[in-house]
Structures are given as C-alpha cells and as structure tokens.
C-alpha cells in the first residue's frame, strides 16, 4: 500500500486475555495466557478483520496470541519492546487482597494519585508514558494510512487513550480496560485523533 501521508490511520488496541494465575498485579512478570485467556482473545476478533499489520508487546500473554493471529491471517507481526507493561515494583505477582493485608489503603492511594503514590520500586509514570508514546508515534509514522492491531496491556492502552484524548496521565487509571477488550482510535493529519469505540469491536 502506498501512503500519501494524508490518509486516516486506524489503531485497534487489544488487551491480552486472562493469564495463568488469575487477577494480580503482573507488570513485567511473563505469565502465559490461561485456556480462558486464549478463548477470550479468539472470541474478540472478527473472522474477517481488515488489519494490515499487527504489533505486540514482547510479553507472552500478548505475543503468543499475536503470533498465532498473524499466522492465521497471513499478516506481518512486529514485536515492540516498549509496549511492555509498566513495572509495578514490589507489587508484581501480588493480588489486591495480598496488598491490602500488607498495607491497607495503598491501592486506593495509588489510583487516586498514581504519580506520587507509586508502588515501591515501580517504574516512574513519566518514564513509562514516554517509552510507550515514543513507540506509538513511530507506529503511526511507519504504518500511516493503514489499519493496525496493537496487542498490549491495560497500562499501555491507557497511556495511548489518554494521549489521544488529551487527558492528564495522572487520571488514566480511571479508564477500565477489560481482558481481551478492543478500543479503536483513528488519526488523520488534518483532523487529529478520533475515539471510535472502547471495550470491544
């Protein structure tokens, strides 16, 4: 496809399905998808989608499905390391109940002010948003005028949606991103970003 530089680019942002071990703060722990997670993701995609490119986080809860989907649709796949989930530091691998027992109220403090109440050892929010948006801008430039599926994590998707909607990143955790949900945005050189749908296709 020849891009003129004046065409709409569509990005579908898909969160991974449920990983083995159920709900917990994984961050950069590389857990595989559960059987349910695989089913969630296959059920979320159309039988005849119009994507021209797939881009995935390197973590296997995203990349394993992205590779299978790319093979089934005969589409190119790019693994983008900067789309890895945010590092949650000491929270990684723990459930909400475990964290509440360790320090009651810490989860609420984080969601109210994720800039100043990072988990101990967590990746700084500014560093996380910078790496995600640097990769995202490169994707928009490289695949201008195309329809692209990005398979990634809730945190990555929140950063991109907040950027597209001009939301402060300190409020991005107000966006709920369900397992295997697909959010759609588009961008055009003249009109800028448009928010098309959220949660499914």
Q: What is the pLDDT of residue 190?
A: 86
Sorted by where each begins, the domain ranges of the chain are 9-88+122-197
Helix or strand holding residue 56 (H, E): strand 53-56
pLDDT at 105 exceeding the cut of 50: yes
Q: What is the pLDDT of residues 110-140, one digit of tens each?
A: 999 998 999 999 999 999 999 999 999 999 9
- What does residue 114 show for φ and ψ, rounded to 5 degrees? -70, -10
Q: What is the pLDDT of residue 3?
A: 40
Instruction: Show the DSSP H helices in the chain as ranges.
Output: 35-44, 60-73, 96-102, 106-112, 125-142, 154-164
Query: Under a CB-based contact definition with an 8 Å cutoff, are residues 22 and 192 in contact?
Result: no
Given CATH 3.40.50.1240, say whether it is the number of domain 9-88+122-197. Answer: yes
- Of the pLDDT bands very low, low, confident and very high (cuts 50, 70, 90), residue 201 is very low
pLDDT at 7 exceeding the cut of 90: no
Q: What is the pLDDT of residue 199?
A: 78
- Of the pLDDT bands very low, low, confident and very high (cuts 50, 70, 90), residue 5 is low
Dihedral angle over CA of 7, 66, 138, 30, nearest 10:
160
pTM here is: 0.92
Residue 166 gets the label, from left (phi > 0), alpha (psi -120 to 50) or beta, of: left
pLDDT at 188 exceeding the cut of 50: yes
Q: What is the pLDDT of residue 30?
A: 94
Q: What is the pLDDT of residues 48-71, one digit of tens each?
A: 899 999 999 999 999 999 999 999
Task: Look at residues 193, 35, 91, 49 and name the one whose alpha carbon lies nearest to residue 14.
Answer: 49
Q: What is the pLDDT of residues 130-187, one digit of tens each?
A: 999 999 999 999 999 999 999 999 999 999 999 999 999 999 999 999 999 999 999 9
């Amino acid at each position: 496809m020849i891009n003129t530089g004046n065409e709409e680019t569509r990005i579908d942002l898909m969160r991974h399905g449920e990983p083995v071990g159920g709900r917990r703060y994984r961050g950069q722990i590389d857990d595989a998808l559960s059987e349910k997670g695989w089913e969630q993701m296959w059920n979320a995609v159309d039988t005849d989608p119009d994507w021209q490119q797939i881009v995935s986080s390197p973590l296997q809860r995203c990349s394993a499905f992205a590779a299978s989907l790319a093979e089934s649709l005969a589409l190119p796949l790019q693994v983008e390391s900067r789309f890895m989930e945010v590092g949650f530091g000491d929270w990684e691998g723990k459930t909400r109940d475990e964290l509440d027992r360790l320090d009651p109220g810490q989860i609420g403090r984080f969601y109210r002010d994720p800039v100043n109440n990072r988990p101990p050892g967590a990746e700084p929010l500014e560093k996380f948003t910078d790496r995600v948006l640097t990769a995202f801008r490169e994707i928009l430039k490289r695949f201008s005028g195309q329809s692209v599926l990005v398979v990634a994590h809730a945190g990555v998707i929140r950063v991109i949606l907040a950027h597209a909607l001009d939301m402060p990143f300190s409020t991005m955790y107000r966006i709920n991103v369900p397992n295997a949900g697909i959010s759609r945005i588009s961008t055009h050189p003249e009109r800028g970003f448009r928010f098309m749908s959220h949660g499914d296709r």
